Structure 1
């Protein structure tokens, strides 16, 4: 499918959503106008006046309003899901063969920013377009038909525009500050959690740190809400003043000849009723402006997302084995790792927290710069990321989306049958409905479920080498058993490297590498100062 076809397919649902939203708002305003006139005419109508026709029209408009409202939400949310998928695929393409060192930034990009970008049609485009169109049309029609007090509606329209501009300028500035504070808080929180001595609840040798505070972020978010509410209150106050002026006969005082003849006719009630209801149908634009400000910040964050390029290597299949010769991680004081790994089976890298297990897994996959050699079947690999060697991190990211979107984020067309099979293997029965929304704003997942979901995602990608970081942490014995069986099954035709301080008995370990930490908190091997040997279990 061409890019032009994809663009057209994305525009059509958005336009339908906008048309339905306009129809929903227009029918509501028509009901208000006709009802106001009907109430007034009923009081002065002569004998023989047909009350049935206005009542039928009002009922028909009510049904049309309900139908268009539901249809708008249905089409809009289906379009939202499609746009989230397209936006995230765009980010994946943008970050292809690249590495984001700042995990807080990548999480932000894949969660909040993508949702803000994808939801623009239902969050601010449709509401703002609807109110602008209705307000403009109301003023034009009121002046065209010379309705009593029509000029008051025009004054309110000008006030609405002024407040909207004031709200937009302030919201853009506050959204920029809020985005910066949110990113800063995520970075500080990640650093705090990584630096805290949480293993074994032991703080010996560590300086107690002050936990990062989100007070500044919350204060800024409250300021954004207050600005929108303040604009809404000002608008509501001005609308109420306009109603008082319309009902007090100010039009007769300003233009006695033109206005006195129509002041006491039924149509004179239309403008006051529209003014009285204006806070209900027009004030939603202020919240839409806040959404627009967040959209602009998210758009800027995605467009300026920076990453370090990683050289991609061809798919490397292991037939004989992998030799690691003095492999060390750039920028870390870890002793080099020397090991001989089999072509298939489970290899366990064990050791306490801080000994470098995760770093060595990433170095083997090519995710971080390293020194030394990675020799596969006698061929020394250059620096770079091996495309079919997958690393499953200790704290995996769960996208705010469907189960299917999480299991197939790159849109490779993985079947539901394959997804159900691996979910069954990992005891994730609650996620068998692949259309179910999980993550933020969806079904929350426990830490163990997140780990198993990430493992399922990696297995569905069919890697040649699977590197799993702490897969058993936070799991009960039954879940550990399921994970062990799944890893044992995967290791029958590929190499599975597991880094863990836990090693259940049911895990069929082919070989083991032991890492230790010396008194200076520098990693050293178990039996030698320079090498870590792999030994048969």
Structure 2
């Protein structure tokens, strides 16, 4: 977390300073109050004792403690939220750099768990460990100097007690609770992933009457999580017990030392009472530290998972000296070959393809023949095992990925409709588009008439994953979004999968008009109507062959 702590150092240091001032005000309040009440009692009816200055000081410290506590909470929590936002932004950026093959290596819901749960587990580090530990050490050292000015042995006693309570005990507690904390974080991540999988596969669970087994597995995961968290909580309770024990021993020692000094007239009774009460206020800062130390195992496990994700190198990188792509050009593949890791045979071998600018071609073939793989290679989602792909004569492996993806867009059967409105989904294609441009894209995608029937038009909520739309309407909404995008090359991967025959034919018939001069590579196993594309190629045996249109 060091890079993010350094980035937010000003707000974090402000929170730390306010925390120190808050504890100092609390210690001062109890110390002055103890001295004042004791001195007033000892003074009795003497008229010479000043009641007004100490009472005003008590009121001032009480009000200062309240104001400082509020400012410390606002500043500390604000800094922590900013810290977590920075971390989530970095983790999301790391996820976005991963290739689909790398993403496939993670369990469903695992990345969400790292982005949410793991980073949430790290928020305890600053508020419950760093701030209390540094505050305890700083105020403990200062208070030991103050106490030592009146009673030198008491100063050493307080310093030793604070070092043990703020350093040694939290360290031992973190070591003891480390295994339980790691297991707790792993169990929490597994439970989140299981929930994600159960939600995604709920229809299949219901269809195969597997819901009781899923509930039983989830119950086991939750019980495992509860057990590990109970162990962490027990460690925290043990730490607080040790804290109270150290405070009690230190208090007894201070009373014993003060009693001897008071009897020998080396220490005033009122000062002695003030030191004792101030010590009680000083030890209050250690409560959060013990709870935080017990959770360090959880935070360490979460940090390791986040660090592993941040350090995973992307499978595809830009070359140091990238070459610019022309605005338009032919898309060409020569001698293309690709084999999935561990596969016995390549899915593509010696494939050649040339698509001229503004040409529409269809690639047909049986399921699993490599159509999706070919489109992924053209988009540089993967790099080919052999051969080369060029756009406008420039090898795409020498171009910046961001520029290539600005030239090309991929529309597949899995293209998502995001949670939001019709408008928000369309603006992903062109954030600057006005209403006229949005309606024009909907007209080209043959969806405008339907959107006009909606009560709120473009601002109609489409639901999670577009559940308020039919499959065909969702597919056309994705097509409208592609129309708005500046890409001049469309790669369409089974865009009509799941649609009935009439809807498929209508989609293909409208494709040429919607593409409006763009280059289109359409991979499908559906029947293409006459005139839908300029050429049809069949993918068999890892190569492309001419097919009758």
What TM-score, normalized to structure 2?
Answer: 0.60
- Tell me, yes or no, if structure 1 residue 281 matches structure 2 residue 285: yes
2:269 counterpart residue number = 265
> 5+ residue gaps in structure 1?
399-406, 408-416, 427-446, 451-471, 517-524
The question of whether the paired residues in 2 share the 8 Å contact of 1:240 and 1:276 is answered with: no
2:30 counterpart residue number = 32
2:54 counterpart residue number = 54
Q: Could you say which structure has the larger radius of gyration?
A: 2
Do the aligned partners of residues 348 and 115 (structure 1) sit closer, same or farther apart at CA in structure 2, a change above 3 Å counting? farther
Distance 1:118 1:361 in 2: 42
Deviation track 1:165-222 (CA, whole Å, cap 9, x = no partner) reads 321322444444555556677788888899x695696559xxx988573544443333
Do the aligned partners of residues 312 and 347 (structure 1) sit closer, same or farther apart at CA in structure 2, a change above 3 Å counting? farther
Distance 2:353 2:208 in 1: 33
Within the candidate set 344, 366, 385, 2:380 is matched to 366
Within the candidate set 214, 219, 227, 2:227 is matched to 219
Partner-residue secondary structure (3-state), 2:381: coil
1:163 counterpart residue number = 169
1:145 counterpart residue number = 150
2:39 counterpart residue number = 41
Q: CA deviation at 1:361?
A: 5.6
The question of whether the paired residues in 2 share the 8 Å contact of 1:369 and 1:383 is answered with: no
Do the aligned partners of residues 329 and 61 (structure 1) sit closer, same or farther apart at CA in structure 2, a change above 3 Å counting? farther
1:461 counterpart residue number = none
Pairwise CA RMSD: 5.9
1:135 counterpart residue number = 140
Do the aligned partners of residues 216 and 341 (structure 1) sit closer, same or farther apart at CA in structure 2, a change above 3 Å counting? farther
Distance 1:285 1:129 in 2: 10
Do the aligned partners of residues 341 and 358 (structure 1) sit closer, same or farther apart at CA in structure 2, a change above 3 Å counting? same
1:387 counterpart residue number = 402
- Tell me, yes or no, if structure 1 residue 236 matches structure 2 residue 244: yes
Do the aligned partners of residues 310 and 475 (structure 1) sit closer, same or farther apart at CA in structure 2, a change above 3 Å counting? farther
Partner-residue secondary structure (3-state), 1:168: helix
- Tell me, yes or no, if structure 1 residue 103 matches structure 2 residue 99: no
Q: CA deviation at 1:130?
A: 0.8
Q: CA deviation at 1:28?
A: 1.8
Distance 1:221 1:114 in 2: 17
Partner-residue secondary structure (3-state), 1:330: coil
Distance 1:96 1:156 in 2: 49
Deviation track 1:264-284 (CA, whole Å, cap 9, x = no partner) reads 933343344345556633222
Q: CA deviation at 1:18?
A: 1.9
Distance 1:22 1:487 in 2: 56
Partner-residue secondary structure (3-state), 2:523: strand
Q: CA deviation at 1:103?
A: 3.3
Q: CA deviation at 1:232?
A: 0.6
The question of whether the paired residues in 1 share the 8 Å contact of 2:33 and 2:58 is answered with: yes
Within the candidate set 481, 486, 491, 1:486 is matched to 481
> 5+ residue gaps in structure 2?
419-424, 440-460, 513-519, 527-535
Do the aligned partners of residues 241 and 6 (structure 1) sit closer, same or farther apart at CA in structure 2, a change above 3 Å counting? closer
1:464 counterpart residue number = none
What TM-score, normalized to structure 1?
Answer: 0.61
